[in-house]
């Protein structure tokens, strides 16, 4: 007895052949995400031992090749190299004839939009800038973290839907960002994310000087609550001596920090001045308490 045939399902979107130039932390992960979405990664490039090891782990079976050979013949070339190397790479690929008309050329750089891809665009390629707003470890952990990750999509209007579709396929959430806003967009993310790492590492080091046995565990609840408050409420979440206008406490902080780390003291003063300005504007810091605080910060800065 034969079983009845199921009706045919909806047509599956066309799959792309993909080449990944730069099997670094970002390139290898995004290549793996595209592969998991059903696209075919044909080749990747990687020079360092770390890149080669990463490619073997995240893109098993994908051969490593010269960037020109990685790009030639694929539908989508993902150029995942450092920001300052991207323009030169694009020019080099175009000069060798690796880029062809109708080919998608994408990069995950936060700093750049599609202007950096102009040589490829003149050669007939279709430019996309797809920046995931997260940090990468270069391991399979990142694949799970891509779920719900926001991506900045910059592209000519006709290509924005393609960029958005690729982001959704990788599990992300696309957000269109204009070309001329990309430098400020990147500065906004980098100034926060990178500063957090430096400030937290410095705080843990100072806690260790105070005899705290497990600084990270000790500070985690405070830091977690502070980040959550900032994301939810912005400047209204400011607390502590600057927000209260406790000039004497701030002066004490500056003295203690200067005694053990002049660099930390300079950073503290600069950030405290920024906090004070924003706290005043948000109505968190009372104007009558701000004058003495600003005097302390001005004196410390000079």
Q: Which residues contact 292 (CB under 8 A, 6 or more apart)?
A: 245, 247
The architecture (CATH level 2) of 17-177 comes to 3-Layer(aba) Sandwich (3.40)
- Looking at 41-156, list the stretches that DSSP marks H as alpha helix, in order from N- to C-terminal side: 49-58, 67-71, 83-95, 118-122, 141-145
**Percent of the chain clearing pLDDT 90 (strictly above):** 93
48-98 pLDDT, tens digit each: 999 999 999 999 999 999 999 999 999 999 999 999 999 999 999 999 999
Confidence of residue 300 (pLDDT cuts 50, 70, 90): confident
Query: Which CB contacts under 8 angstroms, 24+ apart, belong to 263-272?
Result: 264/202, 264/206, 265/300, 267/199, 267/202, 269/297, 269/300, 269/301, 270/301, 272/242, 272/297
User: Can you tell me the distance from the alpha carbon of 178 to that of 155, in angstroms, rounded to the nearest whole number?
Assistant: 8
Q: What is the pLDDT at residue 47?
A: 85
Q: In the predicted model, what is the mean pLDDT of residues 183-204? A: 95
> What CA–CA distances, in Å, run from 30 to 107, 118, 151?
10, 23, 12
Q: What is the pLDDT of residue 14?
A: 59
Confidence of residue 302 (pLDDT cuts 50, 70, 90): low
Alpha-carbon distance of 40 to 21, in angstroms, equals 15
Digit-coded pLDDT (tens) for 103-147: 999 999 999 999 999 999 999 999 999 999 999 999 999 999 999
Question: What band does 12 get if pLDDT is binned at 50, 70 and 90?
Answer: very low
Average pLDDT over all residues of the chain:
93
Tokens of 252: 């004490």
């Amino acid at each position: 007895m034969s079983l009845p045939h199921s009706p045919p399902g909806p047509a599956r979107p066309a799959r792309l052949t993909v080449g990944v130039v730069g099997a670094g932390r970002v390139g290898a992960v995004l290549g793996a995400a595209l592969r998991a979405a059903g696209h075919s990664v044909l080749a990747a490039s990687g020079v360092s031992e770390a890149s080669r090891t990463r490619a073997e782990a995240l893109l098993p079976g994908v051969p490593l090749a010269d960037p020109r050979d990685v790009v030639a013949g694929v539908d989508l070339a993902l150029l995942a190299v450092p920001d300052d190397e991207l323009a030169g790479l694009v020019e080099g690929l175009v000069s060798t004839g690796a880029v062809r008309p109708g080919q998608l050329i994408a990069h995950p750089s936060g700093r750049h939009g599609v202007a950096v891809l102009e040589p490829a665009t003149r050669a007939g390629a279709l430019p996309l800038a797809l920046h995931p707003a997260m940090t990468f470890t270069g391991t399979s952990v990142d694949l799970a973290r891509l779920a719900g990750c926001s991506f900045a999509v910059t592209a000519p209007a006709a290509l924005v839907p393609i960029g958005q579709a690729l982001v959704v396929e990788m599990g992300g959430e696309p957000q269109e960002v204009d070309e001329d806003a990309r430098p400020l967009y990147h500065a906004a993310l980098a100034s926060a994310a990178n500063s957090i790492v430096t400030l937290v590492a410095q705080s843990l080091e100072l806690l260790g000087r105070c005899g705290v046995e497990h600084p990270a565990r000790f500070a985690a609840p405070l830091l977690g609550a502070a980040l959550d408050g900032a994301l939810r409420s912005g400047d209204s979440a400011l607390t502590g001596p600057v927000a209260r206008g406790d000039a004497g406490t701030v002066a004490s902080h500056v003295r203690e920090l200067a005694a053990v780390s002049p660099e930390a003291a300079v950073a503290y003063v600069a950030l405290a001045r920024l906090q004070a300005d924003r706290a005043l504007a948000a109505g968190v810091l009372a104007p009558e308490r701000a004058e003495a605080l600003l005097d302390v910060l001005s004196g410390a800065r000079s």
